[in-house]
Amino acid sequence: MTRKSLVAPVLLGAFSLALGLTAQAQTQKIGVINMQDALVATKDGQKAVADLRAKYSPKDQELQKRQQELTAKQEQYRKTSNTISETAKAALERDIDAMQRTMQRDVDDIKADMDGDQQRMVNELGQRMMQVISKYAQDNQFTAVFDVSGQPNNILYASNTADITQAVIALYDKSAAVTPSAPPATTSAPARPSGAVATPPAAPRKPATAAAPPK
């Protein structure tokens, strides 16, 4: 067999392999989703966030009022500490210290409760969302779906046609009933696709910590 006849089959085989790989690559369908935006944009997510705000806004307002009272007491101490008696000064210091300790304890308790409620909300919505994403991906023949809401993420570029966020939100709202007001007791984390990072939706701002004691 001549050198020419040996080279031709090798080139032909390599060309066929390249065509096969190209065809296989063309069948890969990749989607991206902003999981955080999707969770809070659904009707269930909007209701859950509203429930959290309704539950914790009064507590936050109460803490703000107590902070103002503490600040006023500290200002009183600052203005009068050099003119009042040592007994009155000591009593004022005890009042301020007690107010600070009590408020800090309540701030920590409320923050822990709010974090727990928020995490349970994310877990439940995330589990439901994953079912919807799986159905959408299978029905539309996606090979993989990546969450781009996590920071950092490894998605450097994705065309608008690859973003399935709005489609998944619409499918979720179509297939899921609005959740009840009370968050469920489950604490298990939702399964998510490779690269997905489930992040909590927007919630009432956390209460401020107690001010520092007077110097």
**Residue 54 vs residues 5, 33, 51: alpha-carbon distances, Å:** 81, 29, 5
Return the number of other C-beta atoms located less than 10 Å from residue 75's C-beta.
11
- Spatial separation of the C-alpha atoms in residues 129 and 116, rounded to whole Å: 20
Per-residue confidence in pLDDT tens, the chain, 215 aa: 555 554 455 444 544 455 554 555 557 889 999 999 999 999 999 999 999 999 999 999 999 999 999 999 999 999 998 999 999 999 999 999 999 999 999 999 999 999 999 999 999 999 999 999 999 999 999 999 999 988 777 787 888 888 999 999 999 999 875 444 444 444 333 334 333 333 334 444 444 444 444 44
Domain ranges in the chain are 32-215
Q: Quick check: 39 and 147 in contact, CB under 8 A? A: no
**What is the value of pTM for the model shown?**
0.63
